[in-house]
Structure 1
Amino acid sequence: MTNPEPIYDVAQLGHTELLTPNLDESVAFFTDVYGLYLVGEEPGAAHLRAWNDDVLTSLKLTASDQAGLGHVAWRATSPQALERRVAALEKRGVEGHWHDGDFGHGAAFRYRGPGGHQQEIYFETEKYRPTEETRPHLPNQPQKFDPQGAAAAHIDHINLLVPNVSEASQFQQETLGFKLRERLVPAERDEVGAWLSVMTKAHDLALTREPAPTEGRLHHLAYSVPETSDVIRAADIFMENDVFIEFGPAKHSRTQGFFLYVYEPGGNRIEVFTGGIHIFSPDFETVTWTTEAGGRGTAWGTAVPESFHTHATPTFPATQ
């Protein structure tokens, strides 16, 4: 059987919109504690970026009655790649629509994924241009390193809950060219987790099984930091600011990233992440896990809290 030609039309997780019932408090958390920078505001919304994001914005916070995902956006590698991926979506029967763009980016094709989440794909984006105060000494950096809070460096990945992991994973692979790096399929059960990337990272997208009879929910959004010590430093910063630490610091089995999870004031789960395997081989073989390694939920045996399997946004009554 001939393997399909790899698709490299999607470059990265471009930006994400989170909904929050506590917009002012969420903005304060992401700037003062998590370490992002506020780059734009409008009635009911705020736009932020991390110090090592080369784009103007990677996160939009939107006021809403409940927390959750507004949309997740994938950036294409070129205008031509964008056209090809939209054609692939339409060929699959996906109903979507074009919009003129938003703060920091141009025209985007918005559609609903198989798990009920709003997704979009776009290419045109506004780059971040440093001011005299933020200009870096080294010209290959977006801005000088002037840490605030946990100093999240750049947007890394997102985890979405879906009713059918295999179906959602196939959708991302076949329409957008995601590569399935790891998957969790317990013995005699359906697939419960999939970790996919568009280029060489361990994952840009994680898909995990939705435990409630609903769809469209967010498990977590992650920004990365350069070093393991930065994750440990973030734990101290969260502690000093009375931010509840749900899980970590510890090391994942899958992806092998070092992590820390907290809730932002709106209720969305946010991760500080570093490391993770990188895939350099073009014929990398998907790793299938049938159980946790050695019965462990994490690489070093750190216990996984029950809330990690039940809490998601928006909340669902049956999971509380």
Structure 2
Amino acid sequence: MFTERVRDLAHVGSVELFTPTPEESRAFFVDLLGMSESGRQGDSVYLHAWDDYERFTVKLTASSTSGIGRTYVRAASPQALERRAAQIGTGSWVEDELGIGRIYLCTDPDGHEVGLYWETERFTPSPGKGPALKNQADRFPGRGANVRRLDHVNYLSVDTPACGRFLTESLRARPTEQIVLDSGDVSAIWYTVSDKSYDLVYTNDWTGTHGRLHHVAFATDTREDILRAADVMLENGIHIETGPHKHAIQQTFFLYVWEPGGNRIELCNAGARLVLAPDWELISWTQAERAKGQAWGLKTIETFHTHGTPPVS
């Protein structure tokens, strides 16, 4: 499978998470991941990772349950935004978000909301609290996991191939790796809209429920940051689901935890693999290869395949 590189999208900018425990979830992102609060609006609090150039990285919205709201993806130019909107055709234009201008709001076939935008507000640190280095958005927090930026979003989906077609045809994302079952069905697929090896992922939802989340991932500088984060989570009573281990697929060094609201959060090393080849060949992993588990570390825990948000019976 070859998808021509059309660079109309620059990167995944930010993500909205729903939480039934807003204060506890805020404390998790601020105190344990090292983010800072950058605004409030209605039932939402906006949080910023220290080297994100935009106003916010995560929007935490109080809700009766956990789950994912909008994923914001920045276009490469105003013209690129118009091209993607024209290609999709079924979305609508809104201007309802803090720090973001006009948004083309659309949904994937599974019901996940995606907001495409160009106009964005740069992050401005508080007076006297800026970074020592002018090429850095904010000062290094020096606490918790010290996450640098949002890395990727992994959705659950009822029809993974259909969601993949949406990414390739409408967003012009490129697939980099996938899992193909013995039946020939694709159960998971990884996509990139940038030079990173992946930005957006779809995984089959065994419950048959639409619009759910598997996890949101944040990048750290080093593997040692992830090891330190494991100790931080342990000391603060955060559920460590699995890791630190190394994935075979995409080779990510990882730690998975559940934040207080129930959403799965991954911490991964920021030295992400790059896909520089314009004619990258899609890597397929068989069901048997996937069953082997990680590149190294313990075998994948059962809840990694069964837990998603919002929870379903």
Interval of TM-score (by shorter of Structure 1 and Structure 2): over 0.9
Q: Could you tell me whether the CA contact under 8 Å between 1:258 and 1:276 is conserved in 2?
A: no
The verdict on how the C-alpha distance between 1:292 and 1:28 changes in structure 2, with shifts beyond 3 A counting, is farther
Determine which of 153, 171, 177 is the counterpart of 2:172: 177
Question: How far, CA to CA, are the matches of 1:130 and 1:42 in structure 2?
Answer: 19
TM-score (norm 2): 0.96
The letter for the 2-side match of 1:242 is G
Q: Which amino acid aligns with 1:251?
A: K
- Cross-structure match for 1:288: 284
Aligned to 1:305: 301
CA distance in 1, matches of 2:141, 2:154: 29
- In 1, Cα distance between the equivalents of 2:24 and 2:17? 13
Contact kept? 2:3, 2:174, Cα under 8 Å? no
> Hey, what's the Cα distance between the residues in 2 that align with 1:266 and 1:144?
27
Aligned-residue offset at 1:132: 4.3
1:160 aligned onto 2:159: no
Q: Distance in 2 between matches of 1:58 and 1:4?
A: 29
2:28 pairs with 1:33: no
Structure 2 residue 208 is the aligned partner of structure 1 residue 213: yes
Residue among 269, 276, 283 paired with 2:272: 276
Contact 1:183 1:193 in 2 (8 A): yes
| Secondary structure of residue in 1 paired with 2:202 | strand
Aligned residue among 102, 108, 111 for 1:113: 108
Please name the residue that 1:222 is paired with: 217
Kindly state the Cα deviation for residue 144 of structure 1 after the two structures are TM-superposed. 2.3
Residues of 2 paired with 1:108 and 1:19: CA distance? 20
RMSD between aligned residues: 1.6
Do the aligned residues in 1 keep the contact of 2:87 with 2:170 (CA within 8 Å)? yes
Q: Extract unaligned runs of 5+ from structure 2.
A: none
Cα deviation, residue 138, structure 1: 2.2
Alignment: residue pair count: 312
> What per-residue deviation string (whole Å, max 9, x for no partner) do you get for residues 207-257 of structure 1?
100111210000000110010111101101101111110010011111111
The structure 1 segments of at least 4 consecutive aligned residues displaced by more than 4 Å after TM superposition are none
Structure 1: state its 5+ residue gaps: none
Measure how far apart 1:292 and its partner are.
5.1
1:73 aligns with 2:72: yes
What is the CA-CA distance between 1:294 and the residue it aligns to? 8.0
Q: Which residue of 1 aligns with 2:14?
A: 15
Correspondence for 1:140: 135
Q: Distance in 1 between matches of 2:127 and 2:84?
A: 39
- Counterpart of 2:303 in structure 1: which amino acid? S
Q: Does 1:84 align with 2:79?
A: no
Pick which of 42-51 and 142-151 moved more.
142-151
TM-score (norm: length of structure 1) = 0.94
In 1, are the aligned partners of 2:157 and 2:163 still within 8 Å (CA)?
yes
Quick one: percent identity of the two aligned structures? 40
| Residue 301 of structure 1: how far off its partner (Å) | 4.7
